[in-house]
Amino acid sequence: MLEKSIAAMLSAIEIYNKPDFKYREETFSVLCINSWELLLKAQVLHLSSNKLKSIYKMEFKTLKKGVRSGTASIKKNRSGNPMSINLFEAYKIITADFGLKINKVVHDNLLALTEIRDNSIHFINDDITIAVKIQELGTAALQNYFHLVNEWFGNVLAKYNFYLMPISFFRDFQNANGLILNNNEKNVLNYIKKTEEKYDDKDFGEYNLTLRIDLKFQKVKSTSGLPVTITNDPKATLVQLSEEDISDKYPWNYDVLTTRCTKRYSDFKVNNKYHELRKKLESDKKYAYQRLLDPSNPNSSKKTFYNSNILKEFDQNYIKD
């Protein structure tokens, strides 16, 4: 039953995340509630040592004499098979009969999502406001489901991604049309709004009634990445640079650097002041890199190459032209 519950939830997510599906929210609400019901029944079975009778609906039949039977019997459906308890009956058995605690916000989230499910089955939902609210309720329901499954049955969901694609990916919010809600939609939204108001400014840890996803599109340069600082710290993460990388980071040799300085500063001269300042900066790898002509021989001749950032230090010692 747990496996069926997970399968139903994965189906709900997969259908919701399809790029074009005309009955998205309605199908998701039906499958999500179905998954939750199977999960709660799985927990009832688990707590009852897998006795099937624990999830059967019981009734007291009326005897031929018109007297109510004193013994409860299993209620049968139209085909003669045993009827099972519903979602909230399973919830009550877990919390009341077995005393297992479930955060109340989980119950209210399921109650709100069930209202959506019932309205989807018996009426229609055709407003974008309902669609947004279903996503907020659904996202919270998925996270609540994930946490409870982990708590009750261990880390069996590690290989799955329990996320709903933000509706901004497939909705056009550039233009907002005037919409008229029917009475059924108004009642559902008002019910959810009142439920949300009870949880304003309250923190229930990892469980939630609704969750909103805010999406922001931002242009990114292809050269963007993690910031890197050159350091002598032996505990820092080691990053190896190829010859090409070094050439890109330190493109100037002595002649290029000197020429740049000559054109950049009005009071620049190739003298002791310049050589002393340059040699001082050469010890800092932010500005210079000494390449061995024979990398395998630490005593071989060296040639120094410079990073363009070295000009920032020269700017403090010379007058820019």
Tell me if 50 is assigned to some domain: yes
Q: Tell me whether strands 58-59 and 73-74 are parallel, antiparallel or unpaired.
A: antiparallel
* Same domain assignment for residues 172 and 46: yes
Weakest mean pLDDT among 10-14, 184-188, 254-258: 184-188
* Same domain assignment for residues 119 and 258: no
Residue 177 pLDDT exceeds 60: no
How many other C-beta atoms are found inside a 10 Å radius of the C-beta of residue 16?
23
Among 168, 198, 228, give the residue marking a domain's end.
198
265: closest CA among 312, 232, 198? 312
In tens, the pLDDT along 92-120 reads: 999 999 988 898 889 999 998 888 888 77
pLDDT for position 37: 95
Task: Name the phi and psi angles at 302, rounded to 5.
Answer: -120, 150
* Same domain assignment for residues 187 and 260: no
pTM for this predicted structure: 0.55
Tell me if 52 is assigned to some domain: yes
Place 174 in a pLDDT band, splitting at 50, 70 and 90. Answer: very low
Tell me if 319 is assigned to some domain: no
Number of domains in the chain: 2
Q: Which H or E element spans position 109?
A: helix 104-122
In tens, the pLDDT along 286-306 reads: 899 888 777 677 777 888 999
pLDDT for position 176: 41
1: closest CA among 48, 32, 43? 43
Among 137, 172, 198, give the residue marking a domain's end.
198
Segments forming the whole domain that contains residue 250: 243-314
